[in-house]
Amino acid sequence: MRRNRQSAQVSLAFLIASTITLGMLALTIVLVSQSFRGMESAKITAASATARQLAVSVDDRIRAITDPPSTALAVLSHDPLAIADTLQQRLVRLPVVADILDSSDIVSAVYAGYANGDFFLLRKIRSSGAMQFPDAPTNAQYLLQSITRAANGKSQSVWHFYDASRILLESRTPSDYHFDPRDRGWYELADVSGNTKLTAPYVFFTTGETGLTLSRRQAGAKGMDGNTVFGIDVTVTDLGTQLAELRQTPGTRIAIVNTEGSSLAYTGPDATNSGTTSNTAKPQGLNDGAINAVLESDSKQATSELVNRFTTENRDWYGMTEPLESLDQENLKIAVAIPADELLADVWAALTRQTILASAIALLLLVIGWFLGRRVGRPLELLTRRVGALSRFRFDTSVSVDSHIREARQLSVALDDMASTIRSFQSIATALNRGQDLDSLLQDILEQIVHILGQTRGAIYLMSRQSSELRLSVDRDIHPPETITGVNAKDDDNDVIRALRNALSGHPVFAILRNRRKQLIGALVIEMEHGEHTHLSDDLIVFVDEIAGSAAVAIETRELIESQQALLEGIIRLVANAIDAKSPYTGGHCDRVPKLAQMMVDEAIQSPAEPFANFTMNDDERYEFHLAAWLHDCGKITSPEHVVDKAVKLETIYNRIHEIRTRFEVLHRDAEIRCLKRQLAGESSQQAETDRDREQEELQEAFRAVANANTGGEFMSEDNIEHIRQIGQRTWVRHFSDRLGLSGDEKQVLTGTPEQTPPATESLLADKPGHLRPWGAHKPPVTKDDPRNRWGFDMTLPEHAVNQGELHNLTVAKGTLTPEERFRINDHIVQTICMLDALPLPDRLANVPHLAGTHHERMDGQGYPCRLNADDMGIPERIMAVADIFEALTAVDRPYKEGKTLTESLTIMQRMVDEEHIDRAVFELFVRSGVYRRYAEQHLRPEQIDAVNEERFLT
C-alpha cells in the first residue's frame, strides 16, 4: 500500500517563537540606530542651545557688573568732591567714596580726575581674592592714592592706608608713582553730555587686573575744561570662574575673546596660564588648540550658529561660537570646544543599555513565544485535560471542540471561568472550616464571597439579642453605620432587609444569616458596583442565599466554640478564685503566678542568650502554658483549710492550746485546794501557801514554755524539745468520761482501746491513740511501688494520715507543720496532676497536667512529686518553679511569715540556685530582664521594693 508522503513539519511553538524573536531583533536594530542618531542630534542641539544660553548669562553678568557702578557714578557726579580744590577738602568726602567702593565686590577702585591733573583714588587693598599691596600695613583695608599739583605744575603723590573703620594707619610718598589722569582713555572718553561711558576691557595700571572702567563728567559742566571726571574700575576676573561652573563636561573649554583673538576670560586645562596678563593695555591671546580651532572654523563660516566637528590634539571635538551683545563696540564672542567622547558619553551608555535590554527582551520573547506556541499548538490536549477535571466535579454539560484556534481559545476561556468558580467554592469551603476565631472567619467569608461575585466592597452584621440591633462586625470599604436598630430576632427576612435598606445607601445585595434553628444571627451585605444593579438574576440571588446559609452555620459553630472556650476560661478562673477564696491567707496566689510566669516566658522568647536562643512557643503552647499556670495549685481545693492555714502547732479546726490551758487551770486550782486542805488539817499556813505559790509559779512558767512552743519558728532546739516533754510528764486527774459526745470517726479510731474509768490520771501533754487517723481506703498512690501509680510519683508516705498528738505537734523543730501535715500540703501537687489528668483535654492541651504539676521539682532531683531532675524539665517548667517561689516569698497574705523585700527574696533564691533547687539560667534571666521589678511595681507594697544590686545575683 502506498503511503502519502508528508511534508516536513515545523513546530508551531518554534515557528511562533522564531518569528517573534526575529521581528523583535529587526525592530530593535532599527530603533536603536534611530535612537542613537536622535540622541546624538539632541546632544549637539542641546550643546548649541547651552552655548547661546551661556552667551546670555555672560551678557547678564557683564550688565550686572556695569549697571550698579553706573548708577553710583551718576550719583557721584553731583557730589561736592567734584569742586574740591585741596586734598583736605577731598578727604572730607572720603566716606562717600568708601561707601561706593564697599557697595560691590567687583568694584576695584573709585576715583576722580581733575582738569588741573590732580587725582584722587580710593581702592581696596584686597581685590579679586588676592592681596594687591603686600607691603601694606597690617589691618589695612583701603589705599587712598592722591596726586596734587602746585601752581608751577609740580605734582606731589601721597598714599594713605586706612583700616576697616577708615582710620588712617600710615601715609607714604611713593617716588615712582607718576600719573596724569588727563592722559588716560577713560578721561578722554567722558564727554560733556553727562552720560556714563564704558571702556573696553584692559589691564589696570596699578593692580594688573583685567577689567572695565566707567567714567562720567561732573554734572552741570559747561565745557571740557574745568570739569572733574569720575571713574569706577570694575573687575571681570570672576567671569573665568563662572565659565568653569557652566562647563557641560569636565573637558569642555570656554573662552571670551574679541575680534583680535585676545581673551577676556577662559576656562580649560591651562586656565591658570593661558590668557595671563601683564601691565599692558590689552589682554593677551590664548594658547589653546581647541579654542583656536573653533575660532578658525568660525571665521570660515558665514554664520556662527553652526556646530562644527573637528579633530585636534588627537581628539574629536564639537565647536561653536556665540556673539556677546553687552560690549558691542568690542565685538566679543564666546567660543566653546567640547570633546566628542565626553559629549556623547551618555549617548553611548544609553545605546549600550538599550542593546542589553533589547537582547534580554528578545530572549524573554523567545521563551514566551515558545510557551505560547506550545499552548496554541496543543489546544485539544489542553481542553481534554480541562474537561476531564470538570467531569470529576460532576459537571455534565457537554463540551464540543473544533479545530479552529479562535473557538478553542473561547472554549478555553469558558472552561477557565468554570475552574475559577470551582476554586472559589473550594476557597470559601476552606475559609468556613479553618477559621481560628470568629473575627478572622468573618473576614475570610466576606473576602471570598466578594471575590466570587466579582465585587470589591461588603460588610457583615451580627445580631445582638440583648439590645435587639445589628452590630457591624466586618467592614470592607463600605463604612456603614456601626449599629442598625429596630431589628427583632423574630423578624422575617423581608423585615430585616427593609431595615437594612433604610440604613444603607448604594446598590447592596443582602443575605440574611440564620442558624440551624432558623434563628437570626446576622446579615451579609455586598455592594454591587460592577454589572447591572437593577436586574439581578435569580441565579445570583439563589447563589448568595446558599453561600450565606453555609456561612451562617460556620459562624454559629465558631460562636459555639468560642463560647465553650470562654466557659473553660471561666471555670478555670472560678477554680483558681475558689482556691484563693478558700484560704484568706493565700488569696491572689493563683492570679499572680500566671501573670509573673507569662512575663518570664515573653522574656525567654525574646532572649538571644543560651539556653533561650532557640526557645519559642506557638499559640497552642502559649495557651497550654496559660492554663497550666492558672491551674498549678488546683489540687489545693482538696487540702484541709486548717492545714493550709495552720498558724500554730496545736491548731486543727481550732487552736487546742485552750484545752491545755484548761488543764493548767485545773492544776492551778488543785494546788490551791491542797493548800487549803493542809491548813484545815492543822499544818503551817505559811508553809502551805509557800508550796502553793511555788507550784503555781512553776505552772505559769511551764504554760509559757508550751505557749511559746506552740507559735512555731525557724528552729526549735533539742533542749526546748526536751523541756516540753518533761512538762508533758506532769499528770492531772480526769473525772469525766472521754467516750461521751464523740463523732462516729472518733469512736472508730478508739475501737479496741480500753476506756479508763474516771477518775483517771493522765499526762498533761500526751500523744493518744485518738490523735491518730489511718490512711485506710484513702491511701494516695504516691510511692514508686504502688501499682496504682501511673503518673511516676516518688514520695515518702507518712505512716498515718493524721497525727494530732500534742507532743508530736509541739515538738516540731521547724515551722508549725508535722510530717503528716507537710505531706498533706505537698499532696496538692499530686491531686493537681490527678485532677487535670482526669479531664478530657484535647491533644493541643495534653501537656497541661505535666506543666501544672512540676513547679515543686528541683534541678538536683530532690523535689516532689516525681523527683525529676534538670534533664526532665524544659524551660516552661523551670519558669513556673521560679514564678511560684518568688510569689510565695514576696506575698504578704501568709499567716506564718511576712512578705520579704526584693533583695531578701532574690538572696534566698540565689541560695536555692546554689543548692540546685531552681535553674540558674532562668533565675539570671529573671534578674537581668527586670521582670522582678516590673512585677513588684504592680503587686508588692512600697516598703518591699528596695534598691537591688543586680550584679550580685549574676555570674
Domain boundaries, the chain: 81-236, 240-343, 379-420, 435-558, 583-646+816-953, 657-777
Largest CA distance in the chain: 171
pLDDT value of position 853: 87
Give the separation between CA 889 and CA 897, rounded to whole angstroms.
9
Give the separation between CA 629 and CA 436, rounded to whole angstroms.
23
**Torsion, Cα of 784, 785, 789, 794 (10° steps):** -10
In one letter, which amino acid is 81? L
Residue 336: CB partners within 8 Å, gap ≥ 6? 47, 50, 51, 54, 252, 253, 254, 294, 319, 320, 321, 322
Which residue's C-alpha cell is 498515718?
A: 800
Tell whether domain 435-558 is in CATH 3.30.450.40. yes
- Alpha carbon 127 to chain centroid, angstroms: 56
- Alpha carbon 348 to chain centroid, angstroms: 45
pLDDT value of position 676: 92
Rg of the chain's alpha carbons, rounded to an integer?
56
Alpha helices (H) along 207-282:
238-245
The CATH code for residues 240-343 is 3.30.450.20
Sheet strands side by side (includes 308-312): 263-267, 253-257, 333-339, 315-323, 308-312
Per run of 10 residues, the mean pLDDT along the chain (length 955 residues) is: 50 63 72 68 66 69 74 82 85 85 81 86 76 81 87 82 87 81 81 72 72 80 65 74 68 75 69 42 62 72 65 77 69 76 70 75 70 60 61 49 56 63 66 66 78 81 84 86 85 85 84 82 82 60 72 73 74 71 64 88 90 89 86 77 76 85 90 91 89 91 89 83 88 87 82 85 86 85 87 87 85 85 83 83 85 89 89 91 88 68 90 91 91 89 88 83
Give the separation between CA 732 and CA 164, rounded to whole angstroms.
122
DSSP β-bridge partners for residue 762: 732
Is the separation of the CB atoms in 599 and 936 below 8 Å?
no
| Residue 651 per-residue DSSP state | B
pLDDT value of position 395: 45
In one letter, which amino acid is 393? F
List Cα–Cα distances, 407 to 379, 412, 415, 489, 895, in angstroms: 10, 8, 12, 53, 90
Closest CA to 58 of 337, 323, 307: 323
Give the separation between CA 148 and CA 272, rounded to whole angstroms.
39
**CATH class of segment(s) 583-646+816-953:** mainly alpha
Is the separation of the CB atoms in 870 and 587 below 8 Å?
no
Which residue's C-alpha cell is 518570664?
A: 600
pLDDT value of position 398: 46
Is the separation of the CB atoms in 441 and 435 below 8 Å?
yes
Q: How many other CB atoms are there within 10 angstroms of residue 550's CB atom?
A: 14
Give the separation between CA 274 and CA 267, rounded to whole angstroms.
9
In one letter, which amino acid is 330? E
Residue 789: CB partners within 8 Å, gap ≥ 6? 781, 782, 783
User: Is 0.75 topped by the overall pTM?
Assistant: no
Give the separation between CA 249 and CA 312, rounded to whole angstroms.
17
- Alpha carbon 412 to chain centroid, angstroms: 48
The reply to whether domains 240-343 and 435-558 share a CATH topology is yes
Give the separation between CA 276 and CA 286, rounded to whole angstroms.
9
Sheet strands side by side (includes 457-464): 483-485, 469-476, 457-464, 520-527, 508-514
Q: How many other CB atoms are there within 10 angstroms of residue 281's CB atom?
A: 10
Give the separation between CA 650 and CA 714, rounded to whole angstroms.
17
Is the separation of the CB atoms in 826 and 865 below 8 Å?
yes
Quickly name the fold that domain 81-236 has: Beta-Lactamase (3.30.450)
